[in-house]
Structure 1
């Protein structure tokens, strides 16, 4: 029952909010831009969430982890500085060391490459203005995915003609410098952002360094047409301390993975990740009429990736190209019924040259294996939305997805693996009970082929037998707000049946490979809301108080999963806690002073498929205070105020039961920013 208390409290606050008469300022309505036409979140027939610029600014600023974890259904981890892992609705099985099963875009440019890899850790949080999350499979405009979609909107909505500078420092050698420049000359808008971030890390062998440059140039050459250039360069390097078993973590949580009788330790091998990526895209938008526009984007990326590991040293060179184009007809009417129509395609190709060497204390040794892999995917999509006069919105959409791999090396014949074309339909509706409340329902199919890092894992074997995972998602939801925008509630319940789920397995030497594990049963409930306990006002000592809550209940289990003599059917899905509750409290004071506190309760979670080992539950408390005076903002904060022992990221099914990556103890940070 304790998990229902925040939700019941939010519902009970509605009458309190309506009873207040002090200030009638209406707050801005939340709008979703993921689909062409910019729709109100209240009536959107999809499970979605928006993290605004203000919500991101309340967080520490050097990592996206605490902000994204406020969205129910999302679990983001950072096992050491820079080592991100992101899942939506339980896709951690596929992402032991990265992001799988989720499509990520920056503006109209796909960050997820054709091989299914997403390097979210390349981006600096300061270069992101807002984030939109679509939960559950959505192939309507975004192609193959079975977890969901994340859209990053670059840059904050700063006024043109401004310069920003910021410095932040903290515990364990943390430091960040960032600078931005915005200007406008007639029809040209220019935005440039640069950031440097470093940390020595809490654990041994966990130092991190990142240089990030981002540019957005937009030329609106007439009233209806614009051309935009978006580009970024990121040079990221971080050490990976590796997992510890329970005894090692208890004895010294700051230690890196030690040596064993057969393998050296993480420090000796200088285990780490080094990634240099340049990506750029051109986006042209043409409005033929007030109701019809055409968008086309062409983008490319080049990556040099190195991963000295315990058992080998991998080097990869990746080159990607993408084209995305669509027509959008919006706000047209047939009598009193309005409709939107989108139709388009997306094409991607990624060529990867992979060489595995022996690792001799962080240096390349003799070549162990070398492969060239080309991944190509393309999909065609269409989406219809009808807004009927009797408060009903109906959406029907589908994408047809094509995917293939091409393999070659010096010792075997060339191989091509083609996956059969897959249709991802989606039908959804939303009904407005009142102008500020709506019911929604949807049925959608998810499909996600294996990523390059799964087809060719660290065992250096190309696995052509690995099947794509797919399944059907059924969902009901409810949203409610009020006329002043002071109260918000969003709830959804879903049932997802995934087939051929991809799971990670380990060989005796510690190298990994991936296999299909039958089906999963995923029943979930997600509730998110916020309410102004004291509505914003310019006339009180406490100018406003806002409470926010997000609760995730995940009843996820394997449905029919057998591995040799082991039968894991009915076991809880590995790495997924049943309950997560995130609470936030914002207090606003005169002179632009604020205090924000956030509490994250995460229940215990299974660390292996057999459910014989669990990570303990934890309470994570953080706080941040800030003051803005004219063009200067000063802030300070603290993380893990309760000094909890926990892992913000576990190595699932780890060899030798090395599951744990202990997170930092109580730590602090402070910063200052200037704007002209």
Structure 2
């Protein structure tokens, strides 16, 4: 209740301050556009539960990772167990993630980054090369295929200011952090291309937690006709990071920098040189043509190759993966009187082939073969989406998709097994949503949608090397309503939702530290999300303070298991594992003369249940960070920027990424205490 009172107080205070401002001093906030449903629409009028992080917001945050920027949004949580080891969840989807992403569909510049097996290697991307992130919270399978958490749309960063053709950024910080980024772009008539290149390394806070990443991204566009263009992308990432492993509460308190020590006959993480090695090449080409004034057609073909190695405590796993994706749709956009009609229909097809091999791990060296399997996942769906904009006031959207999922496998060791194919039942995923503009500044929205998420290949064949054909997909219905208020100085986005999920997939760990997954019955997920922005001082050209902006987001998650029995234990009514009940994030940015700024952010996260039984919790914590910078631009010359910052100023002892349901109470991955960073960038 205290958090609700705080949010209400912020709302009343900012509204009263706004009421005292004269109209002549008002400078309008930038209108946020939502692109998820094919055409740009102001966030105020969108029926979707959307959140957007633009280049301006990303530039205020530490650019070694996206963690603090993403965690500033309500309903979304990103964790970092160690540098490079990220987990991302929307509305509780962390429940089934040992690491990485589940329940979500991720796209990079309209190309699927999530493979047909449900896996997404988000950590391959360089944080500083990301320019815009759009989150669609809740089931969005009507357009983006199987998911129950939502969809994420990523766009590469356009470095520097308009007109800059080259920029370079150098930075460093605590624990051996070093970053280098370069950007080059060229425009020649109808042809544009740009190159992002980045290198990042870190020794990490803990023993056995070093990171190295080499990254390059080439984007091209050729507008060969006034009504047609071709876009292409080529991405390469070479990532390796060490994994220190989880500690018990006693071990974490005694030495938070330690890697997981030996236990019984099991060696420690450093002894086994536990790490992840991932080399991935992604390529895609997209063709877009306006056939007539009202009709447009888009088709894209993409694919990626992955060479994955994971020496772990119990074994040494290698994976050779290849994925191809086809996405195509036709669009009709027409205006009839006071009605704007937008209709899209199309399909997406994906296939991922994975060659698994597990060996004994002899201190980071492959030993004898333990298991060898080949798996193939196919995920296809056809969709249709209709949007009606009536009188520039009422938006009605209806959409549906039919989803087909199958996987096949064959084994060559320790036993030979021929190809076995399993097809899940076809799933219809409808969505109905609307938004009504009550006044030019105030809109109400509501939606109902169905979520569906099949088990991923990483869950079907987990680290116990057993292919679990009995694992069932998650399904559920989401009901949501919300309101948005936006003026030139103030914005509010608030929503309440209720999601009932069946067959929730939960991670379990054996005594030998091998993971497996089970269906845990149902969940009841009721949540409240709010985000407030207020220009306390609108941008101006005089005074010591040239602008002052306050932002606040609040997430309340009453997420419970509704029907979950595990052997003799009954976990029904327990809080959903890994989800804090309350998260409150407040930030303040102050601009001074000479393009000097100071940005500060406070993150309060409540207690987090660490196991399904509800017998272990991570303590609540408060994180405080600050960043300051200065930017100088010479007329028709170069741009120079300097920045410096500090994270965890309160020197909190906390674990940002916890190992859920860990055997032996090894839940905790201690995060660094107070740490610092600085950098410089030059643009031409």
Report the TM-score range of the alignment, normalised by the length of the smaller protein.
over 0.9
TM-score (normalizing by structure 1):
0.98
CA drift at 1:291: 2.8
Q: Is the 8 A contact 2:164 2:683 kept in 1?
A: no
1:416 and 2:435 are equivalent in the alignment: no
Find the partner of 1:86 among 85, 88, 104.
Answer: 88
Q: Is the 8 A contact 1:10 1:531 kept in 2?
A: no
Within a 5 Å distance, the mapping from 1:196-345 to structure 2 comes to 196-330=199-333, 332-345=334-347
Find the partner of 1:450 among 455, 468, 480.
Answer: 455
Find the partner of 1:395 among 388, 394, 397.
Answer: 397
User: What is the alpha-carbon distance in structure 1 between the residues aligned to residue 669 and residue 293 of structure 2?
Assistant: 54
CA drift at 1:14: 2.6
User: What is the alpha-carbon distance in structure 2 between the residues aligned to residue 511 and residue 335 of structure 1?
Assistant: 63
User: What is the alpha-carbon distance in structure 1 between the residues aligned to residue 70 and residue 389 of structure 2?
Assistant: 31
SS in 2 for 1:277: strand
Q: Paired residue for 1:144?
A: 146
CA drift at 1:501: 0.3
User: What is the alpha-carbon distance in structure 2 between the residues aligned to residue 290 and residue 540 of structure 1?
Assistant: 50
Within a 5 Å distance, the mapping from 1:512-591 to structure 2 comes to 512-591=515-594
1:665 and 2:682 are equivalent in the alignment: no
SS in 1 for 2:426: strand
Q: Is the 8 A contact 2:55 2:157 kept in 1?
A: no
Q: Paired residue for 1:644?
A: 652
Q: Paired residue for 2:361?
A: 359
Q: Paired residue for 2:113?
A: 111
SS in 2 for 1:61: coil
Q: Is the 8 A contact 1:520 1:560 kept in 2?
A: yes
Q: Paired residue for 1:154?
A: 156
1:346 and 2:348 are equivalent in the alignment: yes
CA drift at 1:10: 2.9
User: What is the alpha-carbon distance in structure 2 between the residues aligned to residue 587 and residue 536 of structure 1?
Assistant: 10
Cα deviation code 1:372-403 (max 9, x no counterpart): 00001100001011111272111000111000
User: What is the alpha-carbon distance in structure 1 between the residues aligned to residue 157 and residue 220 of structure 2?
Assistant: 12
Within a 5 Å distance, the mapping from 1:7-156 to structure 2 comes to 7-21=8-22, 23-156=25-158
Q: Is the 8 A contact 2:654 2:671 kept in 1?
A: yes
CA drift at 1:259: 0.1
Q: Paired residue for 2:2?
A: 2
CA drift at 1:160: 4.6
Q: Paired residue for 1:378?
A: 380
User: What is the alpha-carbon distance in structure 1 between the residues aligned to residue 114 and residue 304 of structure 2?
Assistant: 11
Q: Paired residue for 1:461?
A: 466
SS in 2 for 1:57: helix
SS in 2 for 1:574: coil
Q: Is the 8 A contact 2:575 2:609 kept in 1?
A: yes
1:191 and 2:199 are equivalent in the alignment: no
CA drift at 1:159: 2.5
Q: Is the 8 A contact 1:74 1:88 kept in 2?
A: yes
SS in 1 for 2:141: coil
Q: Is the 8 A contact 1:439 1:479 kept in 2?
A: yes
The answer to which of 650-659 and 26-35 deviates more is 26-35
CA drift at 1:161: 4.9
User: What is the alpha-carbon distance in structure 2 between the residues aligned to residue 87 and residue 505 of structure 1?
Assistant: 18
User: What is the alpha-carbon distance in structure 1 between the residues aligned to residue 520 and residue 480 of structure 2?
Assistant: 24
Q: Is the 8 A contact 2:658 2:668 kept in 1?
A: yes
User: What is the alpha-carbon distance in structure 1 between the residues aligned to residue 19 and residue 230 of structure 2?
Assistant: 46
User: What is the alpha-carbon distance in structure 2 between the residues aligned to residue 514 and residue 17 of structure 1?
Assistant: 51
User: What is the alpha-carbon distance in structure 1 between the residues aligned to residue 171 and residue 12 of structure 2?
Assistant: 38
SS in 1 for 2:268: coil
User: What is the alpha-carbon distance in structure 1 between the residues aligned to residue 51 and residue 499 of structure 2?
Assistant: 19
Distance verdict in 2 for CA 1:228–1:11, change over 3 Å: farther
Q: Is the 8 A contact 2:278 2:307 kept in 1?
A: yes
Q: Paired residue for 1:624?
A: 627
Cα deviation code 1:325-354 (max 9, x no counterpart): 111122x13332221101010000000000
User: What is the alpha-carbon distance in structure 2 between the residues aligned to residue 575 and residue 471 of structure 1?
Assistant: 20
SS in 1 for 2:554: strand
SS in 2 for 1:643: coil
Q: Is the 8 A contact 1:102 1:147 kept in 2?
A: yes
Find the partner of 1:595 among 594, 598, 603.
Answer: 598
User: What is the alpha-carbon distance in structure 2 between the residues aligned to residue 47 and residue 120 of structure 1?
Assistant: 22
Q: Is the 8 A contact 1:425 1:445 kept in 2?
A: yes
Cα deviation code 1:233-289 (max 9, x no counterpart): 000000000000011000000000000111000000000100000001001111123
1:436 and 2:446 are equivalent in the alignment: no
CA drift at 1:18: 4.3
CA drift at 1:13: 1.7
The answer to which of 443-452 and 387-396 deviates more is 387-396
SS in 2 for 1:413: strand
Cα deviation code 1:42-91 (max 9, x no counterpart): 01001000101000000000101111101111110000000000000001
Q: Paired residue for 2:504?
A: 501
Q: Is the 8 A contact 1:7 1:549 kept in 2?
A: no
Find the partner of 1:675 among 670, 675, 683.
Answer: 683
Cα deviation code 1:129-160 (max 9, x no counterpart): 10000000011210100001010011226535
User: What is the alpha-carbon distance in structure 1 between the residues aligned to residue 374 and residue 129 of structure 2?
Assistant: 33
Q: Is the 8 A contact 2:185 2:194 kept in 1?
A: yes
Q: Is the 8 A contact 2:338 2:392 kept in 1?
A: no
User: What is the alpha-carbon distance in structure 2 between the residues aligned to residue 634 and residue 207 of structure 1?
Assistant: 26
Cα deviation code 1:524-554 (max 9, x no counterpart): 0000111011111112210011000010000
CA drift at 1:308: 0.3
Cα deviation code 1:576-623 (max 9, x no counterpart): 000000110000111110000000000011110011010000000000
Q: Paired residue for 1:634?
A: 642
